[in-house]
Every structure is written in C-alpha cells, then in structure tokens.
Amino acid sequence: MSTTAGAAAPQPTETEQDLLVDVRGLKVHFPIKKGIVFDRTVGHVYAVDGMDVQIRRGETYGLVGESGCGKSTFGRALLQLEPITAGEVYVDGIDLSTLKGEKLRTHRRHMQMVFQDPLGSLDPRQTVEQLLLEGMRAHGMASDGKAARKRLSELLTAVGLPAAALSKYPHEFSGGQRQRVGIARALSVDPQLIIADEPVSALDVSVQAQVINLLGDLQAEFGLTYLVIAHDLAVVRHISDRIGVMYLGSLVEEADGQDLYDTPLHPYTRALLSAVPVPDPTIEDTREQILLTGDLPSPANPPTGCRFHTRCPWRQETRCDDERPQLRVVEIDGVPSNHRVACHWAEQIASGELERHTVDPVEDDEPYWSQTDEEADGTEAAARDLPGSSG
C-alpha cells in the first residue's frame, strides 16, 4: 500500500501486532494432468479452497477434519512448500509469497514442522546429533562448537531424552522417543511457530498423552505458537486455545476450544463431536448421536453451494445447494463474537426451529480420471463457477 509523502504509516493495532500467522483467502488447487503426448490439465483438486486463519503469538490453534479435507496441504502451504493458487500468508507481518530463495529459507527457520511418522521424517542414516546439527548448521547456528554442544544437551533435556541419545540412530528408539527426537529437531533452530501435523496419531494411546503434555510444557518454556493438525477432536481438545473445523478445503466453524465443545453450531461439527465417547455412562447413553452418510466427496469435484449439503441432516430446500456459506459471526444468545460458523441456518438449527432429518446417500460423481476429456472439462468449468472457487 502506498502512502502520501511525509504521512506516517498506519500503526498496526494491538491485535495485528499480536498475530503471528495471518492467512487470508488461501487456495491451493493441484492440477490433474491427463494425456500421453501432451500433458493436459483436465481438472483440479481443490485441496485448500478459501481458508482464513489468524493465529496469535503463544496460542495453540487446533485444525481438525476428516482425512483428505486439506489439513496437511494447508500446513505445508503456510511454509510455502505447496504452490499457492490464491490468497496471502503473513507470518510475523511478512507476506511469504514475496520472499524467494535465501530470504524465504532464512524466514522458514521461524516455522518448523513436526510430522506424524517420526521414522519416515528422520533420516535413518543419521545419528540424533547429526540430525539436530543439520538444521542448526543450515542456519549458521552451529559455528561455535562449544555453544552447539551446550545447545544439543539443552534440547535433549527439554524433550526428556538422555544425553546418550545423541549417538543413537532413529530406529533404536521407541515411537514416543522418536517423536521426541522429531520435536527436538524442530526446536533446534529456535522457531516461533511449530506446525505439528498429526503429531501423535502414529503413537500408542498410552504415549500420546506424554507427547501432548511435552508439547504443552515446551510451549510454556519457549513461548512457542502451535498449529496442531489432527483428524481426531480428542487430540486437539486438551491443548488448543482455539479450534478450526475444516471440511473439503475450508473452515466450517471456528471457536475457543471449550466453546466449540459446549456449543457446536455447524452440523458437521455436531456430527464429529457426537462420535467422541463421553466417559460418564449416564451422559454417554443419552447424548445426541449423528451418523454421517457417505464418504467425504472428492475435492476434485466438490458439491456446489454448501459443500456439506450432500451429507447434512439439516439441509434445506433453499440456499444449501447453490449458495456457499461464508464463515460468519452468529446472533445466538451466549455465543461470543469469535465463534464463527459457515452455515446459512445456524441460528434456526441452534434454536430447534429446524429439525434433523434423514439423509439419502448421494452417489459420488465419476472421478475425473474415468471421464472423457470433454466431460472433465465440463465438470471443471462447473467447479470453477462455485462462489469462492475462482483463482
């Protein structure tokens, strides 16, 4: 934005200063190629299709949704590891899409990823010491040998591993210990933001709580900001300050953690929460259970209007099929203004004015790769016409 000569640049508000991550209208569309001689683009996978997410410094943001809804693509796009189709990603006030080469690499130090499968993400030929030093060296943080050794020892203590772990290889550890190595590696370059993509899904239930607690302790110690991605609401429940629920490429609901659990407003969130068992047997016997019909539709051919309409037990004759709902603040007593939901009928569903009905299973459209080129072109054109799908 240009300013008139001599005029002072507008000062960021307190909330803006507080934001570490500010994502606006993010879209990541993967092209679907077809053809033997000419690689023609016959469609797109709308993996991320209009995400607006703000994460404050020191906050834990939990992102949940079914497999294939675009969670990992969103996390990777934050790091500029996926080509961005549209939208902006600001981290610490800098638009990452404007950074290239060395500048992008330097800035990436502030954002590190912890993966689901530590064994797959750690080079099996490197010892823990080599693994930890690798990132530090790449960012010029290991030039002083004595300081580097001190840092390695501090990192191991922080993640609860013995000093002897330095000379071991990833396969010599248990799953939980390996995830501790993965976390130590992420911490080694002193990041501000950690994107933890399904950090405990590959671990035994008994170990999951330990790793979740460790993440919490490290956050308090190092003032970290987290984006924790999970398909399981139970995982993000205890650590998230705020939770975003994702469905087919965009958020359908966002609220403070407890608020989301106490007052889920979107039919999809209600269905997800109804699948989480409650320890109290009296509540468990009487709680609302909403079984979703059918699988997640293909992100290559998303439903028109509200993307959840093919499975929604509250779907209405008007608006649901042809008007894509935006994430909005609702006017419902007791619901705070930071609780947003993308449903045309959230108020009427919450008041009970609209009742749940059965859903007839919808046959999934043919996948792109089984269509003729002409059919595929037609479907893509229709998909492009969806509100919020341009770009």
Ligand X SMILES: Nc1ncnc2c1ncn2[C@@H]1O[C@H](COP(=O)(O)OP(=O)(O)OP(=O)(O)O)[C@@H](O)[C@H]1O
Residue 297 binds ligand SF4, judged by CB under 6 A: no
Each residue 325-344 as x (binds ligand SF4 by CB under 6 A) or -, in order, gives x-----------------xx
Half-sphere exposure in the Cβ direction for 199 (13 Å, CA): 33
69 binds, among ligand SF4, ligand X, Mg ion, none (CB under 5 to 8 A by kind): ligand X
**Interacting residues with Mg ion (CB under 5 A):** 72
Question: First CA to last CA across the chain, in angstroms?
Answer: 22
- Which residues are bridge partners to 55 per DSSP? 21
DSSP string, 277-343: --SSHHHHHHS---PPPSPPPPTTSPPSSSTTTTT-TT--SSSTTTSPPPPEE---TT--TT-EE--
Describe the crossing of helices 145-159 and 128-138 by its angle, rounded to 10 degrees: 120
- Applying the rule CB under 6 A, the residues between 57 and 96 that interact with ligand X are 65, 67-73
Q: Please check whether residue 386 is in contact with residue 29, taking contact to mean a CB–CB distance below 8 angstroms.
A: no
Q: What is the DSSP track for 180-203?
A: HHHHHHHHTT--SEEEEESTTTTS
Contact between residue 247 and residue 49 where contact means Cβ atoms under 8 Å apart: no
Shortest Å, Cβ 322 to ligand SF4: 11
315 binds ligand SF4 (CB under 6 A): yes
Selected from 189, 306, 359, 386, the binder of ligand SF4 by CB under 6 A is 306
Q: Select the binding partner of residue 225 from Mg ion, ligand X, ligand SF4, none (C-beta < 5 to 8 A, by kind).
A: none
Q: Exactly one of 24, 25, 30, 210 binds ligand X (CB under 6 A); which one?
A: 30
Applying CB under 6 A, what is the total number of residues that bind ligand X? 13
Is 70 or 87 the residue whose CB approaches ligand X more closely? 70
CA-closest candidate to residue 94, choices 156, 145, 19? 19
45 binds, among Mg ion, ligand SF4, ligand X, none (CB under 5 to 8 A by kind): ligand X
Regarding 274 and contact with ligand SF4 (CB under 6 A), the answer is no
Least separation in angstroms between CB 198 and ligand X: 6
* Cβ–Cβ < 8 Å for 303, 310: yes
Quick one: what does residue 67 bind among Mg ion, ligand SF4, ligand X, none, with the CB cut-off 5 to 8 Å set by partner type? ligand X
Q: Which of 309, 359, 386, 389 binds ligand SF4 (CB under 6 A)?
A: 309
**Residues in the site for ligand SF4, rule: CB under 6 A?**
266-267, 306, 308-309, 312, 314-316, 320, 325, 343-345
**Residues in the site for ligand X, rule: CB under 6 A?**
30, 45, 47, 65, 67-73, 231, 299
